[in-house]
Structures are given as structure tokens and as C-alpha cells.
Chain A
Amino acid sequence: MTAPASPPTRAPKSDRAFIRIADVVKTFDGFRAVDNISLDVAEGEIFCLLGGSGSGKSTLLRMLAGFETPDSGRIEIDGQDMTSVPPWDRPVNMMFQSYALFPHMSVARNVAYGLKQDRLPKSEIEAQVKRMLELVKLDTLAHRKPHQLSGGQRQRVALARALAKKPKALLLDEPLSALDKKLREETQFELMDIQDTLGTTFIVVTHDQEEAMTLGTRIGVMDQGRLVQVDAPRDLYEYPKNRFIADFVGSVNIFEGQVTEDESDHLRVGSQALGGEIYIDHGMSCQLGQTVWVAVRPEKMRLRREAPEGPVGGAAQGVVEDIAYMGGLSHYRVVLPSGQRVRATLANRDRHDADAPTWEETVWISWPPAAGVALLS
């Protein structure tokens, strides 16, 4: 595979496995919620567990926190076996989806609660609470009760409380799902800044792929209790392992076809769905005639009235069925003669593009040779 020259990535501090999950299985009433998962997370990483509801991501997080015990397997944190250590003795803290603030305690007492359990001297507790509230910019609201705060402020209190004990790892369960879209985007970056300042390892559970992409240094996609793929956001998006990942992370066009030519540097696929041949600029170990699926992202699709010139990965003529104008982008849906629908995303660079293709027009869709990815399953 030819990776882009040097995409900007955020690298963790070290590659040492800081949190090690080995062959962990958890069943509830015969249902395998977590099915034999092994995973290493490095120190200082923001690792995102991404999956739909019932994928087992929350169960895995709860096992890291100690609220569930694995049926089999091992969980290590910083070299120490944690498998049967109760939650109150684990060097990790959790930020709950509902925030789970103590409703009868002030903001400051909420943040101080964990420190009090350690029987630290009072002055030390006060200093640490002050530091934490400054970190999340809530130092002026220390005496408020949780019900007197906005949703975004509550989220910060929960974060400060979970970070106050300087945990070796912070577990975040859907940290931003209760916030509205604008606040969520701001908070995402704040969360990354805080992580950058403290260097704490974050493990984030989310169902929102955009959240996982923005926050994560690496993402593990879960489905039916299994880890399907673990990769950096860019690799996950550009080189999905199978159709499930391609479809789950972002949207995608998938063309089914049979391999007609398999060389070390390229692959040719005959696709009835496209009504033509697909050229892919990477080789693959497969047999001639084997069925493969070619995934092409909508934003890599070109949409023109004229037939494309020069080398293409694939091209076909179709009719514009629908256009969704989203402001910055427009989503086109084009029907090919085979009946397959193709999604193409166009950036709206001009304010009035009178020349843009419109409903019921016959257009050419095409994509560059480097845009497609062949998938075996």
C-alpha cells in the first residue's frame, strides 16, 4: 500500500503497552458481550473504542474500571494485574456518560471526594481542587450545586473530579454525547488540550465516529463483542479492513466485482454494478475471478458532464437522482444503469455555481486510480 507522504498525526509518548487487555471474555446470560479481546494501549494515548450499541465497548470499559469482572482473560495496568482488583483500589478513574455528579455536594466537594478517600491532608486537597477547577475553568463556580450548572459545566466538573486523583488512565464513557453540536466541537478540542497538558492516558468509548476521529490517536472499532480493526484514524478511514468498517466509519460507495488481473502494483476488477472495469493502484494477494468489493469514498468521486480524460480508477454514466445541499458541501446521488446508487460529495466553492449538475441530468462519475480500496470481505 502506498501511504501518503507524511500525514499529520499525534504520536503517543512511548510504545510501551501501558494498558494490556489479554483474551478477555465476558458473558451475560449466555450472551458474549465481550468476545475474546486483546488490546494494548500505550502511555499517553487517546484510544477510542468505537461501536454501535451492544457492541461491547461499554462492557470493556467497565471491566477496565472494575465494575465488571472478566469471565476469563487478564487486564494489566502499568504492569500490574488488575483483573480482580475492586474499583476503589484501581489507579484509573472514570467519567460517566450521565456525569454521575453527587447532587447533594457542591462542585468543590464533588472534586474533592476522591482525594478525601485517600485521607490526604486538608491543605493538599484544597490546593488540588483549586488546580483542577482552574484546569476546567470553573474556579468561580466552586460553591454551586450540580443542578445550578449548565450541561457543559457539569461535564467539566465530571472531568475535574475524575482527574483530581491523578489517575494512570482516564476512562471516558460517551464524554460528549449529552452536549449540543457546537459545544461538543469546542469541548473536543478542550479535552485534547487537557490531555496534552497532563499526558494522562485516555480511553474513550463512543458511538460517534466523528468524535472518535477527532479525539483518537488510535481507534478500535468494535462489533458484536469483537475488535474488528485497530488503527490510526487516517488509516481506518483510508484503508478499511472490510465492508463493515468502510461503511461504519464515514460513508462509502461499494462496487462488487471479480478480479480480472492481479499484478504486484495494480489490480483490475470487472464490475457489473459499475458497468465497467475498475483499476486499483495497489496489488493484493487474491485469485483471478475472486469476488472483491471496491470501496470509494463520496468525496473522492468526480462528477462531470463530460467523460473523464486520463487514467481513472473507474468511470460510469448515470442520472442525478437527488441533491442534498448542506451549505459547505452538496451530496449527490447518481443512479447507474445497473441500478446501483452512487454517492458523490462536492465542495461548494462558489456562491452561485449555475453550472453545477442538476436533477435528472446525465453525468459521468469517476474517481482517480488511488481512490479505490479493494476489500476481500
Chain B
Amino acid sequence: MSDARMSGRGLSRFALPMAAAFGFAVLYVPLAIMVIYSFNASKLASVWGGWSVQWYGELLRNDQILQAAWVSLKVAAMSATLGTIFGCLIGYAMSRFGRFRPRLLLSGMATAPIVMPDVVTGLSLLLLFISMEALLGWPAERGVDTIVIAHATFCMAFVAVIVQARLTDVDTSVEEAAMDLGARQPRVFFDVTLPMMAPALVAGWLLSFTLSLDDLVIASFVSGPGASTLPMVVFSKVRLGVTPEINALATLLIVLVSIFVALAAWRMRKAGKA
């Protein structure tokens, strides 16, 4: 009716879609170019030489990359699992153990790894592992174990946040009802609380998995000889020049990460509905 609404409609009809298109273009055109070039027949990364899938074949024959991919998947699965277990306990404690006094401080501290610069996290963990080695003799050498522990710290923080958000939504009277019907505390947790948290845990695990798969900085700090993750290998290779092989690898990573993020989002939407 009014001019303001008309202009608002005009804005939403032209300006907003254009702005959105520009934003998405900046985000996704480079990715699209990379995906297209991964099918490039030419050995030079920046010269188009026709379609081919040969670089995917090369990739599968490259032991160094396959080895690194295996390390990355192992680290991601283990750190996501560890992070989910501890994050679940933290989130549960934060939302259910009443209003104990240092709660705000504790929940802030538990979620701090999310905003902590990776360099700081990586360096401090490296110092921890070195002094532990000197004092306890463990870890004898840095490798998969130390990367898993390092990744589990920030995975835990993410899972704790997701679980806490989920439990704040869930009516505490459901747990009280279980108690009222004769269930003691551990039973209530396993029969009622855990199933209600399950979607959040699955979402948290998937998110943790992708975050661990992505990490380069922290892993570089705490890894040792013989335990290179995929991002570390890619990064070191790129310094010698981008090859179509790396394009192919990056394309596969995009597919993998997209699948996991989509699954996590789907689980979280389901959690919101139930």
C-alpha cells in the first residue's frame, strides 16, 4: 500500500537477489573452477586441455596421499568420538546440575576452545605434550595420539554447546516423570535423557568429524614424523605448485565434507522437531 512497502518490495525483487547472487558467486565460483579443473587433461593446472579423469586415477595410486587420507579419517573418527563423549557430559552438567555458582565461568571455559586462535591451541598443546613426555614419559613421540587429543579438545567444546542448547529446549519434567515412575538417577539418564540428546550427539559427532578433517594448524603443531594428515600433505604439495591431482583431491574433500555437514544439519532439524 504505502510507498515504503512498495520500495521494500522493489528492493526485494531486484537488489536483494542480485546481492545474494554476487555473494554466492564469490563463494562458489572458485570452487566450481577448481572442480572443473580437476577433470583437466593437461598437466598444467592453469591450462585447459580437454576433459579427463586421469588425475583421480593418479590420486588413487599416490601412496603418500592415501596414507595421509587414512590418518585423517582415523584421527577424525577418534577425536569426534572422544569429543562427543566428553562434550555430552559437559553439556549435560551445564544444563541439568542446577544453578551452581561457577556455572557461567565453567560453561565459558568449556566453550573457549571454539574462539581460541588455532595457533594458540596448537602451541599450548604442543608445550603440554612436551612437558608430559619429560615428566611422565608419555606420549613417547607425537603422532596420531596427540593429534586425536588435540582435536578432541575443540570437538568437545562444539558438542557441549550443541548438547546444552538441545537440553535447554527439553522440558526437565520429562526426566522428573521418569523419577516419579520409579527410576533412579543413572536409569533416568540412559532411558530418557540420552535418547532425547541423541540427535544432538549425532549432529555433534558429524560436525566434529568435519572440523577435525579440516584442521591444518593444530595438527601441524602437535603431529610428529610419519603422522601427516591430509591437509598437511596438501599444504606441503601446494607449496611446490598446484597440480591437477590436488584439484581432484580437493574435489573429493568437498564432496565428503558436504555430505557430513548435510547429515549434521538434517539431524539437528530432526532434533528441533521432536
- B183: chain A residues at CB < 8 Å are 88, 113, 117
| Known contacts A104-B195, A147-B274; A87 and B180 CB within 8 A of each other | yes
Contact assessment for A98 and B178 in the assembled complex, using a CB-CB cutoff below 8 Å: no
> How extensive is the interface on chain A, given as a class?
20 to 34
Q: What is the distance, in angstroms, from A192's C-beta to the closest C-beta of chain B?
A: 23
Taken together as a complex, chains A and B put the C-alpha atoms of A209 and B171 apart, in Å, by 27
* Chain A residue at smallest Cβ distance from B198: A104
| B29 interfacial contact with A, CB 8 Å | no
Q: How far is the CA of A96 from the CA of B196 in the complex (A)?
A: 18
**Residue B96 lies at the interface, judged by CB distance under 8 Å to chain A:** no
Q: With a CB–CB cut-off of 8 A, which chain B residues contact A244?
A: none
Q: Are A104 and B180 in contact (CB-based, < 8 A)?
A: no
Q: Answer yes or no: B225 CB below 8 A from chain A CBs.
A: no
Q: A100: which of B174, B182, B187 is its contact (CB, 8 Å)?
A: B174
Which chain B positions have C-beta within 8 A of A66? 180
Contact A88 B182 (CB under 8 A): yes
Partner of A96, one of B173, B182, B192, B195: B173
In Å, the complex CA distance between A159 and B54 comes to 67
Q: Please pick, from B187, B195, B274, the residue contacting A117 in the complex, using a CB distance under 8 A.
A: B187
Residues of A within 8 A of B187 (CB): 117
Q: How far is the CB of A107 from chain B (nearest CB, A)?
A: 14
A67 at the interface (CB under 8 A from B): yes
**Residues in B neighbouring A102, C-beta threshold 8 A:** 174, 177-178, 191-192, 195
Determine whether the beta carbon of B196 is less than 8 Å from that of A104: yes
The answer to whether the Cβ of B135 comes within 8 Å of any Cβ in the partner chain is: no
How far apart are the CA atoms of A100 and B181 in the complex, in Å? 12
Q: Taking the nearest CB of chain A, how far is it from the CB of B182, in angstroms? A: 3
Q: How far is the CA of A18 from the CA of B186 in the complex (A)?
A: 32
Contact A96 B274 (CB under 8 A): no
- Contact at A100–B274, with CB atoms within 8 Å? no
A261 to B171, CA, bound (A): 59
A81-115 CB contacts (< 8 Å) to partner B: 86-90, 93-94, 96-98, 100-104, 113-114
Within 8 Å of chain A (Cβ to Cβ): is B128? no
Q: Which residue of B lies closest to A94 (CB)?
A: B180
How many A-B pairs with Cβ below 8 Å?
66
| Chain B CB within 8 A of A241 CB | no
Asked if A161 CB lies within 8 Å of chain B CBs, one says yes
CB-defined contacts of A180 to chain B, threshold 8 Å: none
Report whether B177 and A96 are in contact in the complex, using a CB–CB cutoff of 8 Å.
yes
A297 interface residue, CB < 8 Å from B?
no
Q: By the criterion CB–CB under 8 Å, are A103 and B181 in contact?
A: no
The minimal Cβ–Cβ distance linking B166 to chain A, given in whole angstroms, is 12
> Are the C-beta atoms of A165 and B196 separated by less than 8 Å?
no
Partner of A165, one of B176, B179, B181: B181
Q: Which A residues are CB-close (under 8 A) to B274? A: 103-104, 147
- In the assembled complex, B5 has its CB within 8 A of some CB on chain A: no
Q: In this complex, what residue of A is CB-closest to B170?
A: A103
How distant is the Cα of A114 from the Cα of B181 in the complex, in angstroms? 5
Answer whether residue B184 sits at the interface, using C-beta atoms and an 8 A cutoff: yes
Report A-chain residues with C-beta under 8 Å of the C-beta of B176.
65, 67, 87, 94, 96, 100
**How far apart are A38's CB and chain B's nearest CB, in angstroms?**
24
Cα A93 to Cα B182 in complex, Å, equals 9
A104 to B197, CA, bound (A): 11
A162 to B174, CA, bound (A): 13
The answer for the CA separation of A87 and B175 in the assembled complex, in Å, is 12
Q: What string of 1s and 0s marks CB contacts (under 8 Å) between B180-221 and chain A?
A: 111110010001100110000000000000000000000000
Q: Which residues of A contact B182 (CB under 8 A)?
A: 88-89, 114, 117-118, 165
Within 8 Å by CB of A113, from B171, B178, B184, B196, lies B178
Once the chains are docked, how many angstroms separate the CA of A196 from the CA of B58?
80
Cβ distance A350 to chain B, nearest Cβ, rounded Å: 48
Nearest chain B CB to A45 CB, angstrom units: 21
A93: nearest chain-B partner, CB-CB: B180
Minimum CB distance partner of B173 in chain A: A100
A117 to chain B, nearest CB (A): 3
The 6 A-B pairs at the shortest CB distance, nearest first, are namely A117-B182, A114-B181, A100-B177, A100-B173, A104-B195, A87-B179
Binding site for A on B (CB under 8 A): 171, 173-174, 176-184, 187, 191-192, 195-196, 274
Can you name 20 A-B residue pairings with CB atoms under 8 Å?
A66-B180, A67-B176, A88-B182, A88-B184, A89-B182, A93-B180, A93-B181, A97-B173, A100-B171, A100-B174, A102-B177, A103-B274, A104-B196, A104-B274, A113-B181, A113-B191, A117-B181, A117-B187, A161-B177, A162-B180
